[in-house]
């Protein structure tokens, strides 16, 4: 295979795609590198880098690959890619927009239902024989008709809002700006939003701008019957404050698909009955993987053929 078909793959968490990449390209597996200097020397001819939204492509990797011209992200998150730096070097960046929206929104609703109706506790009650012994579970809480707040009304946030509306929930949102064309109420102040609702769903982007956006003040405002759902990034929630709030009853429950130090989940979270834990699995569906593979492969082929990319970011995209 010619050197021009060399590519760097950043993570093994693309198993649905790796087989096709190895078939069509000479793959340099970054995660297998024992010595980075040697790895970069062998991979110096690589022009595309393929990664996902969690691992991204650190700036030092970009700078160590002199011929790189494309960072291809199998996902939508860009907080692990320095887009401005890449574009300054003339490197194109692509994502796979739209393919994860439905799955992430579905997961948010699944976590909400599981947390509110204590589905895992009920499952465990049957498996451990509690029900047969006549041991009743505590009463759970209804989801339908509750007041919900969404942090970040992007495409995923909008999809979540539509699903919550189908449960007759009253939806409000907060974000960088109001979206007047949307039918939901805009609340600019995060603490005020939390004070007015019963369910808070986090669907904002990650990165330093949103780090610990869900603070102790927000959690206290959410209150002892409040439920927090996070399908965004673990960094958006102050995890220590969340644990303390769950332990003390300052909030009622949480459903979490993301964590601060994945895959290391604090033992304190694992010990709590009022939290539902999911291993960053919102996008792990057969359908999303097929869609991601299709778009990534199309962008790679277009890049090597010198044709316009399918999903390239605008040249001056702001982070």
Task: State how far the Cα of 162 lies from the Cα of 154, in Å rounded to an integer.
Answer: 12
CA–CA distance, 267 with 274 (Å, rounded to integer): 14
Give Cα 140 distance to the centre of its chain.
28
- Angle among Cα 118, 122, 125 to the nearest 5 degrees reads 140
Rounded CA Rg of the chain: 22
DSSP assignment string, 21-58: HHHHSEEEEGGG-S-HHHHHHHTTT--EEEEETTT-B-
Q: What residues are labeled active site?
A: 233, 262, 280
Q: How far apart are CA 230 and CA 219, in angstroms?
A: 13
H-state helical runs in the chain:
15-24, 36-42, 59-64, 83-88, 101-117, 119-127, 155-166, 190-196, 216-222, 239-248, 267-270, 286-304
Task: Rounding to the nearest 10 degrees, give the CA dihedral for residues 65, 68, 74, 75.
Answer: 90
């Amino acid at each position: 295979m010619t050197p021009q078909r060399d590519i760097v793959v950043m993570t093994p968490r693309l198993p649905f795609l790796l087989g096709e990449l190895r078939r069509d390209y000479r793959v340099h597996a970054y995660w297998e590198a024992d010595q980075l200097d040697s790895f970069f020397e062998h991979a110096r001819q690589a022009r595309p880098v393929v990664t996902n939204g969690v691992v991204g492509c650190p700036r030092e990797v970009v700078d160590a690959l002199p011929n790189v011209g494309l960072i291809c992200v199998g996902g939508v998150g860009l907080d692990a890619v320095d887009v401005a730096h890449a574009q300054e070097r003339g490197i194109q960046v692509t994502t796979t927009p739209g393919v994860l929206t439905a799955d992430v929104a579905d997961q948010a609703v699944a976590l909400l239902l599981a947390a509110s109706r204590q589905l895992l506790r009920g499952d465990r009650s049957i498996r451990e024989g509690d029900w047969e012994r006549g041991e009743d579970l505590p009463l759970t809480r209804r989801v339908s008709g509750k007041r919900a707040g969404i942090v970040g009304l992007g495409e995923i946030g909008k999809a979540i809002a539509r699903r919550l509306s189908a449960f007759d929930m009253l939806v409000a949102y907060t974000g960088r700006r109001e979206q007047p064309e949307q039918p939901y109420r805009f609340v600019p102040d995060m603490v005020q939003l939390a004070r007015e609702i019963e369910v808070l769903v986090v669907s904002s982007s990650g990165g330093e701008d949103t780090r610990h956006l869900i603070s102790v003040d927000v959690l206290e405002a959410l209150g002892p019957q409040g439920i927090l759902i996070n399908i965004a990034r673990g960094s958006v929630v102050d995890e220590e404050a969340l644990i303390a709030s769950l332990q003390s009853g300052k909030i009622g429950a949480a459903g979490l698909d993301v964590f601060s130090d994945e895959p290391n989940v604090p033992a304190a979270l694992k010990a709590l009955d009022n939290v539902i834990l999911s291993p960053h699995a919102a996008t792990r569906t057969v359908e999303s993987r097929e869609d991601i593979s299709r778009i990534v492969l199309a962008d790679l082929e277009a890049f090597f053929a010198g044709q316009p990319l399918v999903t390239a970011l605008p040249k001056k995209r702001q982070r």
